[in-house]
Structure 1
Amino acid sequence: MRALVIEDDPDLREQVAKFLSDDGFAVDVAADGDNGAYMAEEYPADIAIIDLGLPGMPGIDIIRQVRKSGRKYPILILTARDGWQTKVEGLEAGADDYLVKPFHREELIARVRALVRRVGGWTQATLNSGPYIVDTSAKSVMVDGKPVDLTSYEFRVLEYLLTHAGKVISKSELTEHLYTEDEERDSNVIEVFIRRLRSKLDSDSQYNPITTLRGSGYRWDLPRA
């Protein structure tokens, strides 16, 4: 998953980015409204965390611009102002939730995760599909009741496919949502991750959860439990 953080306070920006990175997100950051507005429209994202009191373009205007452009990823507002009018204005502009500063790491991650899951129609942190139980909070995977050990990037690929179960995901989309602009990208590595996942999740080809559509990408094909 890939998150965009638009926050002018350098300490808070670094803190939020670290919280998300430690939880497995690829994170892009912007320190002002103008740069943030550009990144919000041009960069791939699974969620944006936007401060309302930004230099340059205000956070409210960024949200309106993002929604006007047709981008539908969830937006979480960060605000130091606890007046109900500010929260209502942000939600009416197109934000999905808000978080008043200061906040705890656990609350931030819980809200971000809930918003990302909601896009795929999931309501709980544990994603159940066929014999697979994937806990996105604990970063654990069970198959037929037995634990499966995945690397960090293998888990990210699995989580993205499962969160978007039934949708064809191209290699380029997976690459964009796994890595930030600063990271070296190689879409061929995705094939390696998929091959490893198949080996670890379905070594005897009993369930075939991941379908390859030649020239198009990959799709998680098992129904939700």
Structure 2
Amino acid sequence: MNDTIEQIQTKVQFLTADEAIGKIPEGSSIMVGGFGFPGMPRHLSRALVKREELRDLTLITNSLGSVSILNDLFEQNRIKKVVGSFFSTNKELVKANREGSVEIELLPQGTFTEAIRLGGAGIPAFFTPTAAGTDLARGKETRTYNGREHVLEQSLTADVAIIRAHKADKAGNLVYKKTAQNFNPAMATAAKLTIVEVDEIVEIGELDPDKIVTPFIFVDIVVKREEV
């Protein structure tokens, strides 16, 4: 049994934020968890902003508000595209999109969530009635099912997911805290490299198995959040 635990522990790396962000190559697509501030990996986000050579990025995140840490990436001209549901409060980002310097792919929030979930499940596309008949469906394939028009949406995957959890054990299993869970578990499954920021790291066996939401198989790097 001890050999099995040791083998599990070697699958996940425990690094600093700077070391973890150092694994991300330029031009990456990056999923970032969080619904506003709840569930946002702010410690990792600061490290991402600090690494100035990282450019030509695609961000997949629910929103990119003008007060977000990640907005610094936009202000430093390091983002080529953002994919998400809520950008209207960031007037400069909207202006940049209209001027053609940043691409925005806007998805209804339910579609956004489902696209990530299905991306993690290996399903490349899906039909949904959401957005049918609106500008968001323009240029997309549609079909009628049960007398209702549906839009074909592409599932979402990424090179990297940067997420937030409450606790991790030394195998990499994750539990979340209330609504801070939001998009994080789905994003953990939909990226080639998953980096998670946690408040606490505990021994294997300390987490209640019934409360583990993300199993270690989806986690590559764990970073303990620093108090700031």
Task: Provide TM-score, normalisation by structure 1.
Answer: 0.31
- Structure with more strand by fraction: 2
Question: Which structure is higher in RCO with an 8 Å CA cutoff and minimum separation 6?
Answer: 2
TM-score when scaled to structure 2? 0.31
